[in-house]
Amino acid sequence: MSADVYRSWLAGAPAPDQKVIEAALPALLGLRSLHRAGGTGHLRLSELTELLAGRYLSARFTHQHWPLVREAVTRAHLHRVSHGHAASRPVACPRPSLMKEPNR
């Protein structure tokens, strides 16, 4: 996408550091899953809850509201760790070559 389209896509929000967002992808997917399950209330981020009402946590939303999303990711991680869940290390997906073909 061109720089002009990107600025429009951000809807006036400052462009976040793309490397930071890419590094946070596993945590962002966890936050998205939590949101879909209706479990973001414990994060105590009413602004996030209001902004996401009737929406989903998309790449666009993440870019437009990065400081708020970053805070939510941090709180979700701390919540998981404080409740005895393993640190949020992503589980590696098996390579397709190692996956069995379904019986035909």
Whole-angstrom distance, CA of residue 69 vs CA of residue 67? 6
pLDDT of 87 = 54
Tokens 């996401």 correspond to 52
Number of domains in the chain: 1
Residue 97 within a domain: no
pLDDT tens digits along 68-101: 999 988 888 887 777 776 554 543 333 333 333 4
Residue 40 within a domain: yes
Residue 64 within a domain: yes
Q: At what angle do helices 66-82 and 25-36 cross, to 10 degrees?
A: 80
Residue 95 within a domain: no
Range of the domain at 70: 3-88
pLDDT tens digits along 15-70: 888 898 888 888 888 888 888 888 777 788 888 888 888 888 888 898 899 999 99
Residue 99 within a domain: no
Q: Is residue 103 over pLDDT 80?
A: no
pTM, entire model: 0.67
pLDDT of 29 = 86
Q: What tokens does 92 get?
A: 């590696």
pLDDT of 90 = 45
